[in-house]
Structure 1
Amino acid sequence: MSSFPTWYFDESQIVGIDFEDIAQVETFDCKQTSSAPEIEQVLVKRLGISSGHTIIDLGAGTGTFAIQAALKGASVHAIDISRSMLAYAQQKARKMGATTIKFHRDGFLTYKHNDDLADFVITKAALHILPDFWKMVALMRVSSMLKPNGILYLRDVIFSFPISQYEASIDEWIEHSSKPEGEGWTVKDYQIHMREEHSTFAWIIEGMLTRAGFEITQANYLTPTAAEYVCIKTA
């Protein structure tokens, strides 16, 4: 952070999980059922990722998507702010024979892309660590890393329920999504997310994407508390 202003947002101060604790990283990997290898294989195929493509995976976590993209022959830059998360991902990649991944300890606001412009930027369940002001900064930075007509895929906790129903909607989300300890994300995990992280409304994200120079070609509201977007860089 030394090259950034003192008022710059510090992405390393994330909440809820100690991502430098390898035991918690392993637990996180088990909890991320939405990022199982077979699910990421489907996403790689759906986006048309193949040999010759350059991919930036922002918030790569334990590396499951990056590995599946690399196994298709893509050149992947896997970026995460956690040293332990990256070490765990590198170990997984070696075991899987995914040799075309470069790992970078950085975040949305600090990663400097010094390679060819990317064909795809992927970010899943990570942008919510940033307050809305910094989400906008991050999306402008993402745009600068992409080729013209490059693709941004974004999936996250994003709220599409009516604002007037926020209390009932969040209570229902926590009740139906939480798992017992050891089986997935718990009630406490979801409560921490709501108190201390920065998930926002679909209409806010969509406005940011447009202002950052993207055309939203697909907007899928998976549930009232989750959404995914496929966007093309137009500006």
Structure 2
Amino acid sequence: MASLPAWYFDESRMAGIDFNDATVVEIFDRNQLSSTPQKEQDLVSQLGICSGHSVIELGAGTGTFAIQASLAGASVNAVDISQAMLTYAQHKAQKSGAINIKFHQAGFLSYKHEGDLANFLVTKASLHILPDFWKMVAFLRMASMLKPNGVFYLRDAIFSFPPAEYETAIDETIEQIAKREGEGWTAKDYEGHVREEYSTFSWIIEGMLRQAGFNISDVQYLTPTVAEYLCIKVA
């Protein structure tokens, strides 16, 4: 990864979880119930990604989306801060026959895009590792990687509930979505996320996106704690 100023945020510190442990990465892949090959294939189709397109995925994790975008004919740059994640993703890509993927060990704040600007930039369930100031920096950097009118898709833990209802909203969400150990993300996992990571309110995210030079063409508040945005870079 490129050398960064001493005052830069350290993206490798992710809530104390060691994503350079191969066993942790395997568990992570198993728990990604919202990121199955079929669901990612559906997202690729929804976005209109096809042959001839270039795609950047930041926070690519174990590569399920990047693989589906590649199989659709796109040229993909899969970026993740964890080398263990990338190694796992490369093995999955080889097994699937996805060949047009370049893997980069870097983060939102350190990835240096080379070559032509991308048609699509995607990030899912990763941006919450950054505090709000650094989210804004990341959005500015993402906009610089996209062609005019390029598409930015964001899905993450983003809070759309009224701020005064935070205690009830968080408790109810954890009760509704937490799984048993071995079946997905547990209540302990979600509690750790809220306590130690940096999810924020939808109205803050939306202001940042506009400041970074994006038009928000569609937003879906999937639950009170998860939202997705389809944005277009202003020409």
* C-alpha contact 1:146 1:233 (8 A) present in aligned 2: yes
Post-superposition shift, 1:115? 1.8
8 Å CA contact retained: 1:16, 1:189: no
Q: Aligned pair 1:121/2:128, yes or no?
A: no
Q: Is 1:4 aligned to residue 10 of structure 2?
A: no
In the TM superposition, residue 5 of structure 1 has moved relative to its aligned partner by 1.4
Question: Which amino acid in structure 1 is aligned with residue 109 of structure 2?
Answer: L
- 2:72 maps to 72
2:44 alignment partner in structure 1: 44
> Counterpart in 2 of 1:108?
108
TM-score (norm 1): 0.98
Summarize deviations over 1:16-67 as a string: whole Å, max 9, x none. 5211111110110010010000000100000000000000000000000000
Give the CA deviation at 1:93: 0.1
What's the offset of the Cα at 1:14?
Answer: 1.1
* Cα contact 1:16–1:193 (8 A) shared by 2: no
Opposite residue 86 of structure 1, the aligned amino acid is L
1:201 alignment counterpart: 201
Residue 15 of structure 1 deviates from its aligned partner by: 1.4
For 1:1-235, list aligned pairs within 5 A.
3-234=3-234
Question: Take 1:167 and 1:149, find their aligned partners in 2: how far apart are those partners?
Answer: 39
TM-score normalised to structure 2 length: 0.98
Task: Return the letter of the residue paired with 2:70.
Answer: A
The answer as to whether partners of 2:31 and 2:185 remain within 8 angstroms in 1 is: yes
SS class of match (2:148): strand
Cα deviation code 1:102-133 (max 9, x no counterpart): 00000000000012100000000000000000
* 8 A contact 1:55–1:74 mirrored in 2: yes
SS at match of 1:62: coil
Shift of 1:13: 1.1
Q: Matched residues in 1 for 2:224 and 2:56: separation?
A: 28
Shift of 1:149: 0.2
The runs of at least 4 aligned residues of structure 1 exceeding 4 Å deviation read: none
Root mean square deviation, CA, Å: 0.9
In structure 2, give the amino acid aligned to 1:234: V
Q: Secondary structure at the match of 2:34?
A: helix
Listed as ranges, the gaps of 5+ residues in structure 2 are none
Instruction: Give, as a single letter, the amino acid of the residue that structure 2 aligns with 1:118.
Output: A
Number of matched pairs: 235
